[in-house]
Structure 1
Amino acid sequence: MKKIHIFLLFISISNFAQNNNNFSLENKSIEWSYVFELKPGENISLLKDNLILDFKNDNFGISKNQTISCSGISIYSRLPFNFNFRIESKDDKYRVVVSNIIFNDNLNFGNSTTTKLEMYALKNDSEIKQNGQNNKNLNCLNEYFLNIFKIKSPKSNW
């Protein structure tokens, strides 16, 4: 019985270590995607009230100069970044796909440069790095995206 518990613990730890927090690799580009469930009375049009999301049409938009701050993340993760997003809806769900995550480095003697997330987070352009630092960085981005794309209840004037 103890062997079974140890085996199950090992499997759960290995699955956790490989968790990329809703990030995947699509054509050598990192995308974040998540399916949210709509609660009764919610509508995805409420996402347009989020001022950091610049909708170009009903399903697509961009966001610029966003920042995250989590304990232990890399310096690049603290830089302002831009991203594209796409929203698809079906039944009582909506899926958000974030792509083209680009960090803006203006620390280079006043010269602004940009670097795609792939430069930091990919191993040999073919897989997402599986190490503690990369997992911290992606986990922080994951929490950020979950928070901004979750529909929030309208606030009362009271």
Structure 2
Amino acid sequence: MKKAVFPGSFDPITLGHVDVIKRGLNIFDEIIIAIGVNADKKYMFSLEERIKHIGIAFKNEPKIKIKSYAGLTVDFCKSENASYILRGLRNSTDFTYEQSIAQANATLAEIESVFLICAPEVSFISSSIVRDVIRNKGDYRKMVPNGIYI
């Protein structure tokens, strides 16, 4: 079974995340959406809210699991018997950042990283942009999955 971990904070989940995950389902038998927990980071949404939002986005997808974790992503992958980390790339800056992490992960745990380029229509969306739109009372609904009302 090809199992991948798609790690992130998902604060909140965006259509960019959904694009990469849905296309990843064509490659992997199971994708674990892994919500990283960092005690030093201030989140807009609680862990429970983020799990709920992801659950809404993938409510009818049996190949998706949602879990949270703390610590190194590679350690979480090993605990879940996942051999792959799935990541989405929006631009060359993302690639440069993700390349170093992927090389470190491969060194630490022989975990392969698989990169998918985001679809052009969602490549501008990031969680930080969505949070800014929400904070300023803008219409965020075209940037997050249907059914997620914040």
TM-score range, shorter chain: under 0.3
Higher relative contact order (CA 8 A, sep 6+): 2
TM-score, structure 1 as length reference: 0.22
The structure in which a higher percent of residues are strand is 1
